[in-house]
Amino acid sequence: MTKKEVTIDITKRPENTQNDGKGGYYYESGKVRVNLTDEWFPDPEGTYRKFTHTPESGNIQSITHNGKPLSGITSLGDHKSVSVYYWSLDSTCTRPLIIQLGGKDEYHTDPDDDDNNWSQQGDINTGNLRQKLDEQNCNRNNSHIIDLSEKSITTYNCPSCGSKQIGVSYTNATIIRTTTSTYTISSSRISSFKYVNTWQRGLPSIRAVGVIFVYWYNSGKTPIIVYQSISQRYFRRSSSNSNTWTEVSGQQALPNGETPTIATLDLSKISGIKYNGDSDIGFEIFPDYCKSVTVYYWSGGGDYGNPLVVQLSGKDEKYYTDSGNWQEEEGINSDTLLATLDKFSCSLDTHIVNICEKSGLSYDCPACNQPKINLTSSLVNNKYIRVTHNPKQRVSRLQNDSKDNTSIPITGEIDKVYVYWYPPNSDSKALHYGTKETFQQVILGS
């Protein structure tokens, strides 16, 4: 029985195919189903997209692009699949860069960019595929590579195609110990970034370039921030010896819908730390020592207006607290950090409620050891004893004797906790907590 002839359409992509409900896609060629997979290449940079077309049956007879058959690719019937590589910003699959037949090292390119002269390239293999894609991308999409290490000359050539000139200016900035290099490419795009021979992850391809600014620290040895001028996007280096970058252009919404206020290093005053650009946290830091700054807040504070502890991380950890003025706090480590946060959280009139307490008029907050929590008891329906815990302000978290109840969510609006005991003289209890008349119930114990 003669197998059906299959035409591979390399303009197909997830947007114009059917979803199979299992994370894949497909389209029909005649009466043959062709499965389509979509991958980023290389992983994890994802500069390119790889679409693999695999017919479920039949023989591959031809390849088309925008309805036009590709010429120069032969022996298609010997292969079970066709893979095509596009630049990640070529969203409509306009310019295929490299076509791979089967899963082996059989690659084809079209140097004339007209789909009429595809030919096999024997020098392309798995080891140099990224390099060959970069070369094709330069030629077909006018998309070039920025080398962040180039800053001592006025121009250099694209590391991939070797012909496109990239302008460079390098100046001392007004920022202390910081210099700036500026990269300009006329009428071009950027496919990726590298530092000498190391690819920089997290810096995306850019369709409209304008100007790229790179801020350097430590006498121009360490790039710390990359800034794209046209769309005003900022990217921060993860650490001084890392090749990964994180976008910090704008604040993103938290899962609960709130927008966070982020405390950042103010690069205009590298010898210290500011909070939101206004209040100076007055202790000196040493950038050669300090690799990261972590700020701890009470989670129920809402506006993040009161930092509790500042942690400087380098060769070891240093912790700073504010007892009138910021100073290093001795004795804080990973084991004692929570107790320290509890103590300083109490200064915000937020205290820990111990739901096991049910006798007396008040008891001490387990964190600050001050008589902050008032107790009142009443009989409900002649059946339950209700114990009201009133910290006078807000509840920071709950303890069941000396154990934390981390599974019970506490927000900044909780100002009372109601514990119902049944029978009254037993250890079984149901917990209600809330603000004013709004309560939530959680069953504890048996």
Q: How many residues does the chain have?
A: 446
The per-residue pLDDT for range 105-150, each reduced to its tens digit, is: 899 999 877 777 899 999 999 999 999 999 999 999 999 998 888 8
Q: Give me the pLDDT at residue 382, please.
A: 80
Q: What angle do CA 306, 276, 148 make, to 5 degrees?
A: 130
What residues in the chain have per-residue pLDDT under 50?
Answer: 173-177, 251-279, 284, 286-289, 433-446
DSSP state of 314: S
The per-residue pLDDT for range 45-67, each reduced to its tens digit, is: 789 999 999 999 999 999 999 99
> Which residues fall within 8 angstroms of residue 332, CB to CB, at 6 or more apart?
309, 319, 340
Residue-range domain boundaries for the chain? 5-140, 142-247, 267-346, 350-444
Q: Could you tell me the pTM of the whole model? A: 0.55
Region at 380 (left for phi over 0; alpha for psi -120 to 50; beta for the rest): beta
* Bond preceding residue 42 cis, omega within 30 of 0: yes
Is residue 6 within 8 A of residue 30, CB to CB? The reply is: yes
Nearest by Cα to 206 from 180, 171, 235, 181: 235
Q: Give me the pLDDT at residue 326, please.
A: 74
The pair of three-digit structure tokens given for residue 304, joined into one six-digit string: 């993040």
